[in-house]
């Protein structure tokens, strides 16, 4: 099954390169939501995807985008299944993903330690001017995964990918 | 899924679905834009949880849109009308503290609901934080906001006993859960300069029979609105 493994790695790279539908600067691989790609038969592939939030509507767009990419590469039957366990965490976002988020103007999440409640004290850096003097406007923002903050130094409001 | 696991998924799924719908009613009406967005986001989290839980039991759409009132197993607390903003926050506070404690326990035990509970509990941490921040702000705010917040926690108190009625299929120490809930609630209310309500939290005429399919007056109207489109246009899709 050496070829299968090689094929799986190739297909995973393809599925992983699909951009997030709501944050197109990061890929699904960088976001850490792609859990596995298995070839289950000739022309048959199962892709495991985990949602960031249980109700995140973007997962449907992710599913059809993955199906399309794999169909275009000759896979006849693509089945994208949703897995919940282990639960996705913002710690699953790669270093490259964090860098791209910041570059796009979204403050990346801070790292969480297990068992720690919602982090409140560590400062979030303004993605525009770099100041750490920022304030929380609302824990809920334009998408389920973001909080709304404002920079006290440059006065610019910005999104923060909140820790989960 | 066993029958008892089904019963538990249905009860918790209905809680999440009904509260999600109630919170959705705030869309376009919340006091400020940020709050409109916050309540809609909390509703979305709950809807996602409801979809997973109800899908364990059967077809999510049929369960949500084609059941009659008496077939719903949600707590009477979550079906209570939004009232003023303080009532919505009191309902959020009572429910989210309970949900976080319950799901936290489910997440650390092996069972049919472990995965969804472990996922959802992280979302609920934010819901609880949101409810607590508002309880503090309103309780320890102006005379008017203090009065309204106190009125709201008093009014919904009698629906909170039902939170600790054992749910078939959930292996939980309900007394310990209730003690932890009361401790958390008391700390928040006291910090908010509010008085922990006195009086029974269950019993009385009807409060606390949602799990048996008995609901309060406003629930029928809520369902009528929620189910209307699906019933009028069977099989319609986006």
Q: Chain A: residue nearest B129 by CA?
A: A118
Report domain extents, chain B.
Answer: 3-232
On whether any CB of chain A is under 8 Å from the CB of B24, the answer is no
**Residue B18: burial class (beta carbons within 10 Å; 0-12, 13-18, 19+):** buried
A124 CA: distance to closest CA in chain B (Å): 17
State the count of interchain CB pairs (< 8 A) between A and B. Answer: 72
Token reading at B211: 């799990």
State the average pLDDT over residues A76-103: 94
Name residues whose C-beta falls within 8 Å of residue A114's C-beta, 6 or more positions apart in sequence: none
The pLDDT value recorded for residue A5 is 86
Token reading at A153: 């130094």
Q: Chain B: residue nearest A164 by CA?
A: B122
Distance (Å, rounded) from C-alpha B34 to C-alpha B36? 5
Angle at B123 (CA atoms; ends B121, B125), nearest 5 degrees: 70
Intervals of CATH 3.30.300.130 along chain A: 2-82
B164 CA: distance to closest CA in chain A (Å): 24
On whether any CB of chain A is under 8 Å from the CB of B46, the answer is yes
**Residue A84: burial class (beta carbons within 10 Å; 0-12, 13-18, 19+):** middle
B204, pLDDT greater than 70:
no
Which pLDDT tens digit goes with each residue over B130-185? 999 999 999 999 999 999 999 999 999 999 999 999 999 999 999 999 999 999 99
Pick the CATH number of B3-232 from 2.60.40.10, 1.20.1260.10, 3.40.190.10, 3.30.360.10: 1.20.1260.10
**Domain covering A2-82, topology:** GMP Synthetase; Chain A, domain 3 (3.30.300)
Contact A53 B123 (CB under 8 A): yes
Of B114, B119, B125, the CB nearest to A54: B119
Taking residue B9's Cβ as centre, other Cβ atoms within 10 Å add up to 24
Which pLDDT tens digit goes with each residue over B61-74? 999 999 999 999 99
* Position B238 confidence tier, pLDDT thresholds 50, 70, 90: confident
Which pLDDT tens digit goes with each residue over B88-105? 999 999 999 999 999 999
| ipTM of the complex, rounded to two decimals | 0.84
Which pLDDT tens digit goes with each residue over A19-59? 999 899 999 999 999 999 999 999 999 999 999 999 888 99
Distance (Å, rounded) from C-alpha B137 to C-alpha B217? 31
Contact B48 A85 (CB under 8 A): no
State the average pLDDT over residues A149-160: 94
Token reading at A96: 């490259």
């Amino acid at each position: 099954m050496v070829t299968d493994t090689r094929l799986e790695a190739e297909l995973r790279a393809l599925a992983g390169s699909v951009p997030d539908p709501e944050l197109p600067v990061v890929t699904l691989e960088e976001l850490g939501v792609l859990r596995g790609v298995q070839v289950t038969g000739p022309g048959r592939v199962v892709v495991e995807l985990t949602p960031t939030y249980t109700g995140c509507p973007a997962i449907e767009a992710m599913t059809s985008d993955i199906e399309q990419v794999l169909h275009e590469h000759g896979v006849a039957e693509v089945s994208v299944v949703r897995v919940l366990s282990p639960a996705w965490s913002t710690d699953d976002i790669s270093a490259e993903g964090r860098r791209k988020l910041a570059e796009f103007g979204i403050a990346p999440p801070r790292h969480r330690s297990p068992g720690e409640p919602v982090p409140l004290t560590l400062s979030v850096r303004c993605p525009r001017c770099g100041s750490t003097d920022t304030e929380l406007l609302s824990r809920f923002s334009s998408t389920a995964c973001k909080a709304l903050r404002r920079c006290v130094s440059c006065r610019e409001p910005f999104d923060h990918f909140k820790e989960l | 899924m066993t029958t008892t696991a089904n019963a538990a998924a249905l009860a918790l799924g209905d809680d999440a679905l009904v509260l999600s719908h109630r919170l959705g009613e705030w869309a376009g009406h919340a006091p400020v834009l940020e709050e409109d967005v916050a309540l809609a986001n909390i509703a979305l989290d709950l809807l996602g949880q409801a979809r997973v839980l109800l899908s364990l039991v059967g077809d999510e759409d049929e369960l949500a849109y084609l059941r009659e009132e008496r077939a719903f197993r949600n707590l009477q607390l979550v079906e209570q009308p939004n009232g003023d903003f303080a009532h919505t926050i009191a309902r959020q506070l009572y429910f989210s503290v309970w949900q976080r404690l319950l799901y936290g326990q489910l997440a650390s035990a092996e069972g049919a609901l472990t995965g969804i509970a472990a996922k959802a509990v992280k979302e609920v941490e934010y819901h609880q934080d949101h409810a607590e921040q508002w309880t503090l702000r309103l309780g320890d705010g102006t005379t008017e906001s203090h009065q309204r917040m106190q009125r709201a926690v008093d009014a919904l108190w009698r629906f909170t006993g039902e939170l600790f009625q054992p749910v078939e299929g959930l292996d939980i120490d309900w007394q310990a859960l209730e003690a932890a809930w009361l401790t958390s609630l008391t700390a928040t209310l006291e910090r908010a300069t509010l008085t922990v309500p006195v009086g029974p939290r269950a019993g009385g005429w009807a409060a606390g029979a949602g799990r048996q399919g008995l609901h309060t007056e406003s629930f029928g109207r809520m369902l009528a609105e929620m189910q209307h489109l699906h019933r009028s246009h069977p099989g319609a899709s986006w």
